[in-house]
Every structure is written in C-alpha cells, then in structure tokens.
Chain A
C-alpha cells in the first residue's frame, strides 16, 4: 500500500505553491535588511564621484552584501511578476511568453549585476 501523500504529490494543490509562497516571503525578509544597508550606501554615496563609488563597492563586505541584494531582489521580483502574469494574462501563448521573458530577464539581471560587482571588487 502506498502512502496517500505519494498519490497527492504533483497533483491538484500539492505542487509548488507553498514553496513559491515561502520563497516570496523569505526573500522579502532578507530584502528588509539588505535594503536597510542599501539606504546607508545611498546616503554615503549621494555626492560620490566614480572613485569613491568604486572604492565603496570594492570593499569585500559591501561587495558581498550587494551580490546578496541582487540575488534576493531579482528572485523576489521574478516571483512577484509571475503571480501578476498568472492573475491577469489568460491567453496561453502570451502567458507562456511573458513567464519566459520574466525568468530570462531576472536571471540575466542577476548575472549581469553579480559579474559587474565582482569585476569592481577584484579590480579587473
């Protein structure tokens, strides 16, 4: 006899909704702290020239937080846009296209941001 859970998994409401729900909120909590730091960074860099901004991001702690911010921000944005598309776009072809664009945009933004922070931090 199989466990009833085995029959339920992957069907009906037992898909990935809970993971999406939790990930949306977990990234939100991380972003609260990371954006607090970002506010401090904007405060410090409000009148900064290029050299000052470069020096700020190049500090390992700042670079690490900026990379974390990029990961959480684009992931959170991707999950949010996904729900908006699911709620308002009902033509299947259009919906699929927008989902793919959202995901491509989010991963690309994340990768571009991280590569550039690393470039600044490693002084390349």
Chain B
C-alpha cells in the first residue's frame, strides 16, 4: 500500500511559514547565546590575560580594539550581550508563569528590542568616545 503524502508541519524557515516576532526573537536568543559563548567570552578572557601579562600585551589588545575588525567584534558582542540579557529577563518572567498572553509577549518583545538598541548604542558611544 502506498503511503499517503500527508502534510507535514511546515519548517519555520521558508515560504510556507509566516515569521512572527516571538519565534524570530527565540532563535535570536539562541544565536546570540552561541555567539557570546564562542566570541565574546574569549574576548573577556583575552582582556583579563592581557592585563595580567603586562603593558605590552595590553597595548596589543588596545590596538586590536581600535581597528575596524576589533570594533566590529566589540559592537557585535555588546549587541549580543544586551539582547541576550534583556530577552533573558523576558524569559525569566515567563518562567514564573507571567506575561504569557500573546499581547504581553509582543509588548515585552518590542521593549527588549528598544532596550537593546539604546543600551548598545550608549555603551558603544562610551567605549569609542573614550
């Protein structure tokens, strides 16, 4: 007997699925977490090791972060950090059983995006201006 080709639940990425803020922010939470683990955490380690190694190593680090690639990594790390931090608070609130209504989930989502943009621009301004 030939198996009937039943419709599968649509894969989230592709033409059959309308992306929502909630699902996109969910995958972005994971992506930012992976990025922070693999890129930002090693940068923090490098900073600590440079300070402990001496002025020469610290100069190399300062030089890296004044170049375009260093600034790009710094900006991406701050963006990822603030997003993961604010969205993490959103998740912690959900874990208490609150704000689970769709309207609240969207409101908190937009709040997270606004706070992320503000904090990233603010901190980047402080670091690059200094």
Contact = CB atoms under 8 A, between A and B. Distances in A.
Given A46-B126, A50-B54, A50-B58, A32 B85 contact: yes
Contacts of A25: 92, 95
B36 interface: yes
Nearest to A46: B130
Contacts of B52: 116-117, 119-120
B41 A77 contact: yes
B94 to A, nearest CB: 11
Interface in A67-113: 73-74, 77, 80-81, 84, 109, 112-113
Contacts of B81: 35
B49 A50 contact: no
For A31, A53, A109, which residue has the most chain B Cβ atoms within 10 angstroms?
A53
Contacts of A84: 30, 33-34
Contacts of A120: 48, 51-52
Contacts of A80: 30, 33-34, 37
B45 interface: yes
Chain B at the A interface: SS class: helix
Interface in A10-45: 25, 28-29, 31-32, 35, 39, 42-43
B127 A28 contact: no
A35 B92 CA distance: 16
Interface residues of A, number: 31
A76 B84 CA distance: 12
A53 B58 CA distance: 9
B79 to A, nearest CB: 14
A42 B129 CA distance: 13
A53 B65 CA distance: 15
Interface of A: 25, 28-29, 31-32, 35, 39, 42-43, 46-47, 49-51, 53-54, 57, 66, 73-74, 77, 80-81, 84, 109, 112-113, 116-117, 119-120
